[in-house]
């Protein structure tokens, strides 16, 4: 048989290869042929003279060659299509991810421009305030600074002190002997000389109601142990109180004029952003879950709610300046506190901002120890001879117990307290 009288064709996998090393041999090979995958080899050569049991076909040689040529063209087209699909499958997720990043940048810019608003104004040249800019409740201060409801347990401790400052409630202590014969104290909250629910903000009223009406069962005094026990035994009620408290403090900022509802056009932009992200998810391939999670997180942060007003930005700037003043002890220690009321405000907002009570107690004052001793005995249940160090250690012990009362109930990811 002549060398040019033999033809071989393979059918099946696109990566198959056919070769004719000699006029007596044809080889077919394919990579990674899956089990059950169809393939066949078609070999053409002149009919052998005297062949036994030969089958006759209806196609001529040229017809067979034309048919195989069509198969070859189809295979080439299939390979091109596969290459294009492979390229798209690699490139498309990259393009989607880039577009998603661009959308995220757009969202951040939208958030900073329309929700956070303009940069905070400067309070003064030093950037510090020696006194609180207002009598805003600590929970409202926290909500305004953070533009949200992410409260730490310090917020509740500061709110207790804020109500003590206003003489609505007071802290009481009862001495007891420990196992080793030392004197310790059981602490409780009682109704102060100006106790009333009239005129309280809704979240302040919620806090007072939780302490006396729920944990205290209507009594005029409730121990920290009662608060712990009630919070532990009534987790659903305690959680609802916490939620209402946060909502009230945040939403109340509108009444102060510090927040306003986000304009409709900004909400529309945010929704368009979200729809584009959904489109990215629909088009994505290998990074489907990554984009899904990222989009959900961003949507939860979408500016559908409220934003600071100009008055609100000024208020935030003032509180941050006062926080800087409290934390900069190297400067603060040079300015004596000239009134007990101001010192108590330092105590309230210092607790909110995480300033050590020990540091606050070491600040110089220009009022008498006798005056101080009478105040802390009446309102904080601490009976010492006006010594600030003793006050610090006693109130720290008191707050550790009080803080655990709240954190045990609201342990779902709130900041740790620390006033000592």
In the predicted structure, residue 371 carries a pLDDT above the cut 60: yes
Same domain for 195 and 326, yes or no, is yes
272: in domain = no
418: in domain = no
Question: If you average pLDDT over residues 356-385, what whole number do you get?
Answer: 72
- E strands, 377-419, are none
Same domain for 193 and 79, yes or no, is no
48-52, 59-63, 387-391, 392-396 — most confident range: 59-63
279: in domain = no
Query: What is the tally of structural domains in the chain?
Result: 2
65: in domain = yes
295: in domain = no
Task: Tell me which of 32, 57, 86 is where a domain ends.
Answer: 86
The pLDDT value recorded for residue 150 is: 85
The rounded distance, in Å, linking the Cα atoms of 266 and 358 is 46
Same domain for 60 and 133, yes or no, is no
Given a contact cutoff of 8 angstroms between Cβ atoms, the answer to whether 151 and 215 are in contact is no
Q: Residue 365 has what DSSP assignment?
A: B
393: in domain = yes
Strand (E) or helix (H) holding 237: helix 235-251
Same domain for 347 and 249, yes or no, is yes
The rounded distance, in Å, linking the Cα atoms of 30 and 228 is 73
The pLDDT value recorded for residue 321 is: 95
Same domain for 238 and 356, yes or no, is yes
Same domain for 24 and 146, yes or no, is no
In the predicted structure, residue 244 carries a pLDDT above the cut 70: yes
Question: If you average pLDDT over residues 12-31, what whole number do you get?
Answer: 80
Q: Determine which of 138-142, 161-165, 188-192, 397-401 has the lowest per-residue pLDDT on average.
A: 397-401
Q: What is the pTM of this model?
A: 0.65
Same domain for 37 and 131, yes or no, is no
Same domain for 142 and 8, yes or no, is no
Q: Residue 353 has what DSSP assignment?
A: T
Same domain for 81 and 149, yes or no, is no
The pLDDT value recorded for residue 311 is: 93
The rounded distance, in Å, linking the Cα atoms of 368 and 192 is 23
The boundaries of the domain holding residue 76 are 3-86
Q: Residue 199 has what DSSP assignment?
A: T
52: in domain = yes
Q: Which residues of 102-117 are buried (b: 16+ CB within 10 A; e: fewer)?
A: ebeeebeebbeebbeb
Same domain for 59 and 157, yes or no, is no
Q: Determine which of 100-114, 164-178, 219-233, 272-286 has the lowest per-residue pLDDT on average.
A: 272-286
User: Which tens digit of pLDDT belongs to each residue from 108-125?
Assistant: 676 666 655 567 889 888
Task: Tell me which of 30, 58, 86 is where a domain ends.
Answer: 86
Same domain for 27 and 167, yes or no, is no
The rounded distance, in Å, linking the Cα atoms of 170 and 168 is 7
- The residue with tokens 């995480």 is 354
**What stretches of 111-182 show up as alpha helix (H) in DSSP?**
138-146, 153-165
Same domain for 28 and 140, yes or no, is no
**What stretches of 353-387 show up as alpha helix (H) in DSSP?**
357-361, 369-379
User: Which tens digit of pLDDT belongs to each residue from 129-175?
Assistant: 989 999 999 999 999 998 888 888 788 889 999 999 999 999 887 87
Residues contacting 186, CB < 8 A, separation 6+: 173, 174, 176, 223, 224, 225
Residues contacting 235, CB < 8 A, separation 6+: 409
292: in domain = no
Task: Tell me which of 86, 105, 137 is where a domain ends.
Answer: 86
């Amino acid at each position: 048989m002549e060398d040019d009288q033999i033809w071989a064709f393979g059918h099946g996998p696109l990566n198959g290869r056919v070769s004719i090393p000699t006029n007596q041999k044809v080889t077919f090979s394919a990579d990674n042929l899956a089990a059950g995958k169809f393939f066949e080899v078609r070999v053409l050569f002149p009919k052998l003279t005297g062949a036994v049991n030969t089958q006759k076909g209806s196609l001529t040689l040229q017809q067979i060659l034309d048919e195989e040529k069509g198969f070859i063209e189809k295979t080439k087209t299939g390979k091109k299509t596969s290459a294009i699909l492979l390229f798209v499958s690699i490139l498309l997720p990259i393009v989607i991810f880039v577009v998603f990043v661009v959308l995220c940048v757009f969202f951040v810019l939208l958030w900073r421009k329309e929700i956070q608003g303009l940069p905070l104004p400067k309070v003064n040249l030093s950037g510090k305030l020696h006194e609180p800019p207002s009598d805003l409740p600590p929970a409202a201060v926290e909500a305004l600074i953070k533009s949200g409801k992410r409260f730490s347990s310090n917020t509740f401790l500061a709110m207790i002190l804020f109500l003590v400052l206003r003489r609505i409630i007071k802290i009481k202590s009862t001495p007891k002997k420990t196992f080793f014969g030392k004197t310790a104290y059981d602490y409780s909250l009682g109704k102060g000389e100006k106790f009333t629910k009239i005129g309280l903000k809704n979240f302040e009223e919620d806090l007072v109601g939780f302490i006396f009406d729920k944990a205290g069962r209507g009594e005029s005094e409730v121990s920290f142990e009662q608060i712990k026990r009630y919070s532990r035994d009534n987790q659903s009620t305690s959680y609802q109180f916490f939620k209402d408290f946060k909502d009230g403090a945040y939403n109340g900022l509108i009444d102060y004029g510090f927040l306003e509802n986000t304009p409709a056009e900004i909400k529309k932009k945010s929704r368009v952003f979200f729809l584009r992200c959904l489109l990215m998810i629909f088009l994505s391939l290998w990074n489907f879950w990554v984009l899904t999670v990222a989009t959900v997180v961003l949507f939860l942060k979408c500016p559908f709610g409220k934003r600071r007003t100009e008055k609100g930005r000024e208020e935030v700037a003032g509180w941050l300046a006062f926080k800087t003043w409290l934390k900069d002890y190297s400067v603060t220690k040079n300015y004596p506190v000239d009134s007990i009321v101001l010192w108590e405000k330092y105590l309230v907002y210092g607790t909110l901002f995480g300033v050590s009570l020990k540091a606050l107690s070491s600040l110089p004052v220009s009022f008498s120890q006798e005056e101080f001793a009478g105040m802390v005995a009446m309102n904080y249940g601490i009976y010492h001879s006006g010594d600030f160090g003793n006050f610090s250690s006693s109130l720290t012990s008191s707050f550790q117990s009080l803080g655990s009362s709240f954190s045990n109930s609201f342990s779902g990811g709130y900041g740790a307290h620390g006033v000592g």
